[in-house]
Structure 1
């Protein structure tokens, strides 16, 4: 049995959101930590159960994609990591960031009335401004096989616009400001855990096909011509949906459909709008 206090001494059980089984069966809370993903990886290596969740009000060294930092603020942020043990192969672990975005979209819409856009591969935006970043990190066992994945997110719940660092004030936003009212982070967290608990078994069974249609319906930039980084090569293309493995499907300027497995959509750059209707043959399997 894992002794949580040995690894995260200040953690307390957050019984108000714990679930009977599965995702959220154990939910730990700390006021501040360097990184919820880092700490939960340590718990996972010590044998923590599938579905263990770590929640923090503030991260001092929160991480985004690559080497980027994630800004948070005490009493204004919700920083959450979930430990997932799965029989899916290690190459499919990044799909959990896409699945997490769907679960978060549902929780945010239900509890705040704010309809975000999902920006491939790991952000939620409202009116082009980021409210959430998502990071899935895989850990392997001694044989190089997938041991577990930690799915983490940082969500701007109630950070005043003037309190963001100057370089983020034009590109970031908080749910409370967008909703025009205070947001209950506990209710939001509970909604996320419940939604993830529904989606995860479907992904375990059917992979990306289980949520591709839902992801696509809420996709930011769908049908638009955007600038996509594909390795070191910038590509101007129309976003048309998800591939079966979670790659981004784009239609480039020559009319060729391409798959982008590692890259991102340039924020704030749109080079034209596509048609109002995108053929379902391009958007992945409906869910």
Structure 2
């Protein structure tokens, strides 16, 4: 999505030219291109699919609506497996219309995970709960903190359900350092699990003033308030050794040449995340 102006073939070729070896994909463009064709394209260009985004939206109360959500997440799990990724990112969903019951909504997410986690594990896919900034709690994600995400994930085996650490959503929370350490300390059934419950690490910057559509306010790395190097050091210390995804939703970036944005993003990543 950082360079959504590129088609999947353009994206794959641009990544290959830029030395990028992995890419997190979103369901909609992959479905439009074709699951099998997308998987083949990524393999041919030497790219690993690091994650598929997104499943979730599991907070509905109406039985028929809940069943549709479960069924769609089962399809998402199958898509992830077909693409060769072991990670499906979940955005939990907001409050149902007319509801103010945040704890109840989170409990319905847990109920859905109980059904989905074994199904995913059978297909080699791990579910990754992504906490979103509290400004999204009403309409998009009732899981607002890393602590809330861990409380849900910890009801299930660590090799089945983990969490996403996304700098854009978590940078403001002073409990994040201890929670990253807690997530990293989790172990699997065999007593080991590199990175513990940290399944995905995503980086983006927080810029102000926020645009009218806050969803599109993710800043280019180094342009905002987030201490990206400190986040990287924390997840490293927690034992995470997986890929780092840059996820930027920004209309200004989307209006530019996608290849130029990708090259700039690689340079910013080296300077502000690795540097």
Same fold (TM over 0.5): no
Looking at secondary structure, tell me which structure has more strand per residue. Answer: 1
Highest RCO, 1 vs 2 (Cα 8 Å, sep ≥ 6)? 2
TM-score by length of 1: 0.26
TM-score by length of 2: 0.27
Looking at secondary structure, tell me which structure has more helix per residue. Answer: 2
